[in-house]
Amino acid sequence: MATRRSFFEKSTRLAAGALAAGTLVVSHSEAQNQPPAAPKKKLRILMRSSWGTDEPTRASFVFSHGLALAEAGHDVQIFLTHDATYLMRKATVDTVKPIGWPPLSDTMAKVVAKRIPVFS
């Protein structure tokens, strides 16, 4: 004999399944009827870093993230302060090897090719 508990559990599962199926059908039909999405807004981003050669991985983050944002279509500027100003020297950039990331010299070459302004 079925108990009240088993009855409610079965009816809850059936209702949840019907609700999920109805939501899937509605969202699929709405997606087909909507016009294409508007282009995303282009952001103007100023990135600042003060990490220098004592923390090579953190020092390269500002350049790697700035490059990724510029490749996504945003206007990016990089501003270096304190120890990070030493990263403006080519000899210093060639020695910085972040852990798990490409060498800073490779990233910096891409930043220069993208014409991302770097201030210090």
| More confident: 79 or 5 | 79
Q: In the structure, what pLDDT confidence band is assigned to residue 24 with cuts at 50, 70 and 90?
A: very low
Q: Pairing mode, if any, of strands 118-119 and 75-80?
A: parallel
The two tokens of residue 50 are: 């003060």
In Å, how far are 4, 5, 6, 7, 34 from 1, measured between CA atoms?
10, 12, 10, 11, 50
Residue 62's contacts (CB-CB under 8 Å, 6 or more residues apart) are 47, 48, 49, 51, 78, 80, 84
How much is the pLDDT for 41?
A: 86
Percentage of the chain surpassing pLDDT 90? 64
| Helices H / strands E in the chain, number of each | 4, 3
Judge whether residue 37 has pLDDT over 80.
Answer: no
The 10s digit of each residue's pLDDT in 40-98 is 788 999 999 999 999 999 999 999 999 999 999 999 999 999 999 999 999 999 999 99
Rounded mean pLDDT, 109-113: 95
